[in-house]
Structure formats: C-alpha cells, structure tokens
Amino acid sequence: MLKNITGSIALAMLTASGASSAQGQEQHDNYRHLFMAGGGLELCSSFRSNQCDDADWIDNETMRTDRYIDLSSKSLEKVTSDRYWSAYRKDAQEEVKDALQLIHERINEDRMSERVFEREFTRRATLPTYNMLSDAEYAKIIDLLEVTMSSDLPEVVDVDESLNKKSAEIYRRFIEFTRQNVEAGEQPLVYFSTAGDRDPYAKIDFYRSTFEQLGADARWLPLDSAVVKARAENRCEELNEIQQEVQGAYDRDRVYRDYYQQQVAFCKAGDTEYEMLNDADALFLTGSEQDLIRNTFVQDDNSATDLLRMIVARVQQKKLLVGGTSAGTTVMTSKPVISNGTTASAITDGGVATNPPPYGCDLDNTCPQNTGPDTLTYHPFGGLGLFHFASLDTHFSERGRHGRLMRLAADSSTPLSIGIDENTAMLTNLEKGSFDIIGERGVFFVENAQGTPNAVASTFHYLVSGASGMISPFGLQTAEFAEGENIVQAEPTTNYLTDRGFIDSMRVLCGERTEMTLLNKEYRLVAQLDDSSRTASAGGECQIINGKLGIAHQPEEAL
C-alpha cells in the first residue's frame, strides 16, 4: 500500500543522505575521465534533413539522403522465402507476402525510399500486417529489401546547421575534452564503436563526419560481438551468418560491401584493436543495445577481456577519454546494468537478472521464460566497469524511467543509481567523483532505494545543466545548483509512467508546496520535501536535493 510507503518516506526507510548544497565547492581536478550522454542526440545531416535549419547544402549527387527499398519480384521472393521464417510464423509470412505485393501494386515501382515504404505499409489495408510483426521481424524485412549502398555516397553531417543546438554543443564538448590527452595544437585521435548497433555499418558515416567536422581524426573500431564470436569459432569468412545469429542483421555483406570487407579483414587480422586503442585519445560508444556492447568487451564468465582491461587502465592513467550515448553510457557501470523494462512493469513485477527480451517478443513468441516485452531485466555483475559509483540509465525523464531505476536499485541493493535525461551529459572525474552536467535537461540521483512487492521509495536529487558536484558510491556528497532564467519550451505532461510527468509536475515543489501526488492508471506517485531538502529553480525546472519519492501500484479496489 502506498499509504504506508508514503508515511515511511519521511521516516528511517528513506532518511536523508547527508548531501549538501554548496555555494562554492572545493577546487577539484578539472580532468574528466568519462563523458556520459543520455541519448536523444540529433544533428543535421544529408540523411536527416528534417534536423537541419538550412538544407540547401545537401547534394543528392554526392551524399546519402535516404535508404532505399527494392520491391522487385526477385526481392519479394527472397524476403518471404521459408529460409527467413520459422514454421510457427507461417501465417505472418503469408501476410507479409500479400502486403508487400499490395504495396508494390499501389506504388507501381520496384524501388522507393524507406520513408515511402513505411508510409505505405502503415496504410489501412496493410496496417494489421505491420502491427503483427515484432521489431526483429520488421528489421529483417528492411534488411533483406535494402538496396546496396554506394561508398561514394556517404552521409554527411553539418553540425552548425543543426536545429538541436544542445546536441551540437554536447558533441563539441566531447571533442574539446579529448584534447585533455594531446599536446596543444595536435589533432585528437578518436575511435568510435558501433558495437551496440544491430546494424554495425549504418552509423559509421554519421560519426566519422561529426567528429571530423569538429576537429578530430575519427576512425571506426570494427570490433563487435559478431567479430568476437567469429574469431572464437574461426569463422571470419562467415561473418554475415554470425551477424544474423548475434545481431539479427541480414545481408549486410551485400548492402555495405566495403565496410563488410573491412570488418572481415579486421576479424582475420586479430588483435589489431589493441594497437588502435593504445594510440587513441578517446573512445566513443554509440547507443542502441547495451547487451551487444557488453558482449563485445566482457567474456561469458563475466570477466573483462584483455582489451577492456587495457581500456580501463588507460582511462585511469588519464590517457584515454571514454564517451558514450544511450546504451553506450548505460553499459559503462560496474554496478548492475539495466537492459530493458518499463516503470509500470518494474513496480508490479520486479526485476529479472537475465538477458533482455527482444522488442515485440510477444508478437513472435521469442520472449525468454518469465519475461515479456516490458519486463525489467538487468545484468547483476555489471558492465564495462569504467564507472564505479552507480548504476546508470538514459533517455531518463523523457521515458518515465524513474520507477524502473528505483526498482533495480532496491532489488539489487545498489546504494546510488543515476538517470541521465536526453540531450544531456554528465562529465565525471573518477578519482574524486566530481562531475558537471551540460546540455538541455538534467540528471536524477536515486539513493537508498527500498521496495515492497508493489511499491518502491527512495531519496532523490535532481540537478540540471550547469550544475556540478561530487559523488561517492554511497550518494551525492556535494552539489552546486545551476542558475538560469530561460523557461523550458516543452508542453508539460502528468504522465510519469512513460513520459516527463514527474519532472514537469515537480516544478510546484520549488514554490510553497512540500508534497505532490500524481495518479497514472493504477499507479500513484508521491514526492515530498522535508527539513533536509533544498530546492532551486533553473531554466524553468525545479532542482531538488534530498527529496523523497514513492511510487506504488494501487488497483482501484485498493484506493
């Protein structure tokens, strides 16, 4: 019952952490070992013209502007063949065949952009088929129908023309911090890893173009979980088959011929990644699937690979900056790694220490035992071990992930957990625990979380861009609030299960109120301030130190 949880929020179960707001924190080392972004970073590029202030610079003749789909009879026969569909999905296979033929008849062309294809697939006649497919099945269809990419038409980024100025700022700051590790005037060498992406080649041009434009020597690190498996089984020549098994990626050898051959050569060479990262000034981990990143750098027995040990050592020696976004941030921790789940499911069902279920696994019957598409799953033995202070979560407030992070912290007895909002980054010094927050939104700290079968509660802190402070593995030690007057331009919501409802509603606590309650479906949220709490407004948001938060599932009959 939340009634009981709420009452205990102010009692011993949720005692204040002792964190204090500091007007001027002690001088500390300005070096930053880790650069952790919360995802949602968008830049203007030839492939994403909708993210551009001005798109006149985009040249269709020399730049990649879209992904194209081939609906010729040969391609349709291939994508609907028995080779790619299991027997128990025979009905879906036949539905897809009919839907693709109908789309082809409507457009009356063999080739179309992916945007047009998706628009046509989601029209009324074929929408039921679209909705019956899992994410993995739809991605498979796109992969098999995708037209071969020309390496002469790369995706090109224009950072300065980006509508999202905060994303541009975060990428600029990352490259600025890579210069910590180089002599004045030298160009930093940055390797970026796409190991977390289902398709390891789709974002190569984007990141290379971004980092090069910002002044770095940017190079792709071809190591991923498929290469690890191929080397272990002496199957580098069969890398495309292993990509299907490990990443759920199809026909990448046909679509990205040059990048595929580059990765096969890298696979055969063996151990060249040591030389690459030994020379690097920074490593950037892209997002998508933290599981795929973890499997690249962590062995089956949960021990670090020799390469990961080298990375950790170079980070500690202040020779290598590691940055990441989305899953690339989440996986950095040495604490339990969250890999899936919604707040609603986490509150009612708790967490499961297992591999994450595939997206839409309920549609194609691929959910692991005791899990569903919304189940909170996590790796209890941690991730890459770079960030030893807390468990991490990303896309945080925008997806209403406060409850799921609190549940993970409670179930795993993790003293401190941290959630980073989109378009926001947290820069951390690992020696002293000092940090800075930059970007658009804020960072949420969960301390001393506890739970019952249907509720969670904790002490929390929320700081926004411009704030700084110091953390230990047990909580926030000091904090300096951000200052600012710019009002956040966003439509407020009260939906805290899947959106920013809690953070938006929390603004009332920077006024005269000391308690607020929100109801969503069968869930109740209560936030409180007490004598140890401190608040400050900045940028239209309410910053809080030592707040108390409880979320519970309360069916109607219990209200």
Annotate 478-514 with DSSP letters as a single string. EEE-----PPP-S------SSSSHHHHHGGGGGTT-S
| Positive/negative CA dihedral, 40, 42, 46, 52 | positive
**Could you say which of 161, 422, 447, 480 is catalytic?**
422
Residue 203, classed as helix, strand or coil, is coil
Q: Are the C-beta atoms of 167 and 43 separated by less than 8 Å?
A: yes
Catalytic site includes residue 395: yes
N residues, the chain: 559
Instruction: Please state, in angstroms and rounded to a whole number, the distance separating the CA atoms of residues 227 and 223.
Output: 6
Structure token digits, residue 383 = 């991730």
**Predicted pLDDT at 359:** 82
Q: At residue 388, what are phi and psi to the nearest 5 degrees?
A: -95, 0
Instruction: Please state, in angstroms and rounded to a whole number, the distance separating the CA atoms of residues 174 and 322.
Output: 9
**Could you say which of 21, 134, 167, 326 is catalytic?**
326
Q: Which residues contact 485 (CB under 8 A, 6 or more apart)?
A: 539
Structure token digits, residue 328 = 């690339």
Instruction: Please state, in angstroms and rounded to a whole number, the distance separating the CA atoms of residues 546 and 538.
Output: 17
Q: Are the C-beta atoms of 137 and 92 separated by less than 8 Å?
A: yes
The helix or strand, by DSSP H or E, that contains position 468, with its residue range, turns out to be strand 468-472
Distance of CA 118 to the CA centre of its chain: 24
pLDDT (tens place) for every residue of the chain, 559 residues total = 333 433 443 333 333 344 444 433 443 468 999 999 999 999 999 999 999 999 999 999 999 999 999 999 999 999 999 999 999 999 999 999 999 999 999 999 999 999 999 999 999 999 999 999 999 999 999 999 999 998 899 999 999 999 999 999 999 999 999 999 888 889 999 999 999 999 999 999 999 999 999 999 999 999 999 999 999 999 999 999 999 999 999 999 999 999 999 999 999 998 999 999 999 999 999 989 999 999 999 999 999 999 999 999 999 999 999 999 999 999 999 999 999 999 999 999 999 999 999 888 888 888 888 899 999 999 999 999 999 999 999 999 999 999 999 999 999 999 999 999 999 999 999 999 999 999 999 999 999 999 999 999 999 999 999 999 999 999 999 999 998 766 566 789 999 999 999 999 999 999 989 999 999 999 999 999 999 999 999 988 999 999 999 999 998 655 4
**Predicted pLDDT at 559:** 46
**Predicted pLDDT at 487:** 57
The helix or strand, by DSSP H or E, that contains position 69, with its residue range, turns out to be strand 68-70
Q: Which residues contact 17 (CB under 8 A, 6 or more apart)?
A: 447, 448, 459, 474, 475, 476, 546
| Positive/negative CA dihedral, 372, 375, 380, 381 | positive
201-207, long-range: CB within 8 Å, 24+ apart, which pairs? 201/252, 201/255, 201/256, 201/259, 201/260, 203/286, 204/259, 205/64, 205/154, 205/155, 205/156, 206/43, 206/45, 206/47, 206/155, 206/157, 207/284, 207/286
Q: Which residues contact 265 (CB under 8 A, 6 or more apart)?
A: none
Of 509, 515, 522, 520, residue with least CA distance to 557: 522
Q: Are the C-beta atoms of 323 and 34 separated by less than 8 Å?
A: yes
Q: Which residues contact 435 (CB under 8 A, 6 or more apart)?
A: 426, 427, 428, 429, 468, 469, 470, 471
**Predicted pLDDT at 24:** 37
Q: What secondary structure letter does DSSP report for 335?
A: S
**Could you say which of 395, 402, 461, 553 is catalytic?**
395
Instruction: Please state, in angstroms and rounded to a whole number, the distance separating the CA atoms of residues 75 and 69.
Output: 9
Q: Are the C-beta atoms of 238 and 246 separated by less than 8 Å?
A: no
Instruction: Please state, in angstroms and rounded to a whole number, the distance separating the CA atoms of residues 557 and 559.
Output: 6
Q: Are the C-beta atoms of 378 and 412 separated by less than 8 Å?
A: yes
Structure token digits, residue 282 = 């920074």
> 230 to each of 222, 233, 296, 387, how far by Cα in Å?
13, 5, 12, 29
**Predicted pLDDT at 185:** 84
Q: Are the C-beta atoms of 243 and 283 separated by less than 8 Å?
A: no
Distance of CA 101 to the CA centre of its chain: 36
**Predicted pLDDT at 366:** 86
Q: What secondary structure letter does DSSP report for 87?
A: G
The helix or strand, by DSSP H or E, that contains position 376, with its residue range, turns out to be strand 376-379
User: DSSP for 389-457?
Assistant: S-EEE-STGGGT-HHHHHHHHHHHT-SEEEEE-TTEEEEE-TTT-EEEEEESSEEEEEEEEEEETTEEE
**Predicted pLDDT at 488:** 65
pTM of the model: 0.92
The helix or strand, by DSSP H or E, that contains position 294, with its residue range, turns out to be helix 290-297
Q: What secondary structure letter does DSSP report for 199?
A: S
Q: What secondary structure letter does DSSP report for 348?
A: H
Of 488, 463, 486, 464, residue with least CA distance to 476: 463
> 56 to each of 44, 161, 513, how far by Cα in Å?
12, 10, 50
Pairing of strands 424-428, 416-420: unpaired
